[in-house]
Amino acid sequence: MIGLIVLALLGAAAAAPTDDRIVGGYECTHHSQPWQVSINIGYHFCGGSLINDQWIVSAAHCWQNPYSLLAILGDHHIWMYEGTEQYMSVDAIYWHQSYDYQTLDYDIMLMKLAHPVTVNQYVKPVALPKACPTPGDMCTVSGWGNIYTDQVFNPFNLQCVQVPILSDKDCEGSYPGMITERMVCAGYLEGGKDACQGDSGGPLVCNGELQGIVSWGQGCAQPNYPGVYTKVCSLMPWINDTLSRYS
């Protein structure tokens, strides 16, 4: 019986949000990612991206009761009040009806804020993609997640890392049979640079457009295991439909 429980737990761990996976990055220039959101339940636990003055996109596996959430925008040092922050309550959350918590397919949700944000130099939406990204495109991932591969250390200041979009072939080669059309890989096959625990739901921005949402991966920054992101371009019909229906 114990053996079964351990296997069940291991199985759950493989796709659990703790694998939500910045390692090998640097402190972002202050407010250079003005769409970055910290989703807070008394502490930071996931990232998100502001896509217009009242909506945030994040990963479905970051879901919590909306009334327990606070969305913090305009932040850089997560524990220090800097005077640029906007604290927003969340009115409603819509996650994709096809979301699969085991495979993390369709790992996307939209959060409607109770009130519009004040758009300024610190808080600004990111553009949604007009087309899908091309392998080799350089992108920026940002977040307050773990910055080590082998121990937990969550930084106070927002971290950024530059990673390239990988081809579908390389992505599938790293994760045989696990990659769907709603996923895109970014990173280096030699490892060393990646998103990590606590970055989940945050932005992968390529050429000024939100192309990915931090979703999952095998460890963080491990060789041959690049980060896997929800592929925003493939979900634009759902995003547009949800926004037009509930805005």
- Provide the pLDDT confidence category of residue 149 given band limits of 50, 70 and 90: low
> Active-site residue among 19, 75, 105, 107?
107
Write the burial class of residue 175 (CB in 10 Å: 0-12 exposed, 13-18 middle, 19+ buried).
Answer: middle
Active site residue 200: yes
Helix, strand, coil abundance in the chain, percent, nearest 5: 20, 30, 50
What are residue 112's phi and psi, to 5 degrees? -95, 125
Average pLDDT of span 30-34: 97
Q: What is the pTM of this model?
A: 0.90
| Catalytic (active site) residue 61 | yes
Note if 105 is an active site residue.
Answer: no
CB 33 within 8 A of CB 160: yes
d(C-alpha 223, C-alpha 218), whole Å: 10
Contact 22, 160 (CB under 8 A): yes
Model confidence band, residue 2 (pLDDT cutoffs 50, 70, 90): very low
User: Would you say residue 152 has pLDDT above 70?
Assistant: no
Q: How do residues 182-206 score in pLDDT, each as one tens digit? A: 999 999 999 998 888 879 999 999 9
Report which DSSP code applies to 165.
B
Beta strands in the chain (DSSP E): 26-27, 36-40, 44-52, 55-58, 70-73, 86-95, 109-113, 138-143, 159-164, 183-186, 203-206, 209-216, 227-231
Q: Which of 44, 61, 76, 96 is catalytic?
A: 61
